[in-house]
Structure 1
């Protein structure tokens, strides 16, 4: 019997922080757990990332209410993963926004992802019984859309594949602040199980082209100032490259998934072992990197059954 996933034993409650990253812009962070963002406009509030359950979403709402009593009108979901979207019903928003591709991924693999994530990371689903079902957007976009919260302009864009095929970023021009979802992380492992390694670097370059003054990343601390932004972008790039290149070398030589696991560990452990959720992400990252290196461009769907089969294989 294989040992449990590292995430199944991670039951320690994380300390929540609520940092202002620009005027009336906030990052809700929790020591490597999924972040949310808050954008306060003239008359209403936009939430970026919903959390995994309505009960966890209430923790975000509590922080929002500490700084404004304006109604929550919009929820933007940067991608389809269960830990990001299943709490959306708690906000009572008029619009729930995703990219067209992200909505398609809900259709294609949303239930499977929910079952998979719930099995391997139960702590992130506190109050799971309150989830009403899969979260579907009310509004989608192809390349970009703009929302005005009164006079405050918010640009929502798909600027490339990375963490998933349907990733969105949210840019607030008046403060030059970006909410990147899991395209950028800070001192946290990237989850690459649905990732596109060959595209991720260019997508990071596209973010760099904005030359933003602050980023609220998908996981990890708020990044305020150009130096912090640059550091996090480049550490994310290093993480993705250090995962993919060893797996690619193994795949090109006809090696096994277990060979790729050993090679990636040798490259990544010395640099990233202390990163949040590193052990949780690693088997899924190696599996996806090994697949992509063998020409499987469309990520295979993770299911609770496939998770366990993969883990058994890696445990030998």
Structure 2
């Protein structure tokens, strides 16, 4: 399978790096070029793919030695595994405290779920720059806003990057397009709240964590909100028929890839709504069962 990325010019300063829709660990990234430094939004899942991303940044800026500040939207490995390459090249990482803590505890390869040996060197770096409040960052001639989410949404430490001058919003995994989202590390209720908040940030271009780049007329946020609201509705009862609901989800959102995630989302949302705990092993087991065994990655 070909996983060649596309580079989209979204404004004078902003680029989006779009990977193919569908398939685990194939996330989008991007960068914003200023006169003094470049802001990178997320890295990629493997050493090789992150190296290609950084080469694309350097080719675009024409300044291989240009200092990079990388904003990591959350701790999942597809977005964070390349952080060590940024640091090794003299750049810095900025993220939330929770994300920094989780990255440093990695790398998160989830070997009980995924069959893959092509990660390369994804050793996490030490992260010293963290944000807990909105941060306005000047790159020289262009500024960006790094906006942390102060509640649990997709994870416990999400952030987004807003480039007002180019009308671009990088959402990380707060938005999936054409891909079943994953609630495992967050909550559906908090995620709905985050989507409502995203709607208040003006933009002409939306770069989701996974899926095609969206324009101002996109319905992606509304469609994702509908799915998460459905999760909350159907798991509000004490004892839902999880198997039947999984079938219903696969039929209703049949065009979305990674359907094995429905089972996890239903179990996790039910536990959250009823104040019970469900561990990662149980969730992973449910997903592997739906996938028919360990998921073979092709990245």
Whether the TM-score (by the shorter chain) exceeds 0.5 is: yes
Listed one character per residue, the Cα deviations across residues 142-167 of structure 1 (whole Å, up to 9, x for unaligned) are 12222211131111111343211111
Contact kept, 8 Å, 1:74 with 1:93, in 2: the verdict is no
* Structure 2 counterpart SS, 1:248: coil
Kept in 1: contact 2:167–2:205 (CA 8 A) = yes
Deviations 1:100-145 (A, max 9, x none): 22223446xx43x7131x443446x73x2322x2344220011222
Compared with structure 1, are the counterparts of its residues 106 and 15 closer, same or farther at alpha carbon in structure 2 (3 Å cutoff)? closer
1:312 deviates by: 5.0
For 2:144 and 2:269, locate their aligned partners in 1 and report how far apart those are by CA, in whole Å: 34
Deviations 1:15-71 (A, max 9, x none): 421112222211111222211111111132111111122211012123223322232
Name the structure 2 match of 1:214. Answer: 205
Instruction: Note the 1:27-106 alignment, pairs <5 A.
Output: 27-32=16-21, 33-70=26-63, 71-91=66-86, 92-106=89-103
Q: Matched residue of 2:175: which SS?
A: coil
Query: Does the CA contact (< 8 Å) of 1:47 and 1:72 recur in 2?
Result: no
Query: How far, CA to CA, are the matches of 1:197 and 1:306 in structure 2?
Result: 15
2:266 to 266, 279, 286: 286
Is residue 2:257 matched to residue 1:269?
no
- Post-superposition offset of 1:306: 6.2
> Which protein has the bigger helix share?
1
Report if the CA contact (8 A) 1:178-1:214 is conserved.
yes
Q: Superposition pairs for residues 43-192 of structure 1, below 5 Å?
A: 43-70=36-63, 71-91=66-86, 92-106=89-103, 110-111=105-106, 114-116=108-110, 118-122=111-115, 126=118, 128-131=119-122, 133-159=123-149, 160-192=151-183
Q: CA 1:307 to 1:96, structure 2 compared with 1: closer, same or farther past 3 Å?
A: same
SS of residue matched to 2:221 = helix
Equivalent residues of 2:45, 2:80 under 8 A apart: yes
Q: 1:55 to 1:313 in 2, by over 3 A?
A: closer
Asked if the contact 1:85/1:135 (under 8 Å) is kept, the reply is no
Residue 193 of structure 1: CA displacement? Answer: 0.9
CA-to-aligned-CA distance 1:72-127 (integer Å, 9 cap, x gap)? 421111111122111112232421011122223446xx43x7131x443446x73x
- 1:239 counterpart residue number: 227
The whole-number CA distance in structure 1 between the counterparts of 2:197 and 2:9 is 24
Distance 1:199 1:21, change over 3 A: same
Q: Classify 1:53/1:311 alpha carbon distance in 2 versus 1 (closer, same or farther; 3 Å).
A: closer
CA contact (8 A) 2:155 2:185 kept: yes
- Relative to the length of structure 1, the TM-score reads 0.80
Secondary structure in 2 matching 1:182: strand
Normalising by the residue count of structure 2, what TM-score does the alignment of the two structures yield?
0.84
Cα distance change on mapping 1:313 and 1:290 into 2, 3 Å: farther
The runs of at least 4 aligned residues of structure 1 exceeding 6 Å deviation read none
Structure 1 gaps of 5+ residues are: 1-11
Distance in 1, matches of 2:57 and 2:178, equals 25
Counterpart of 1:8?
none
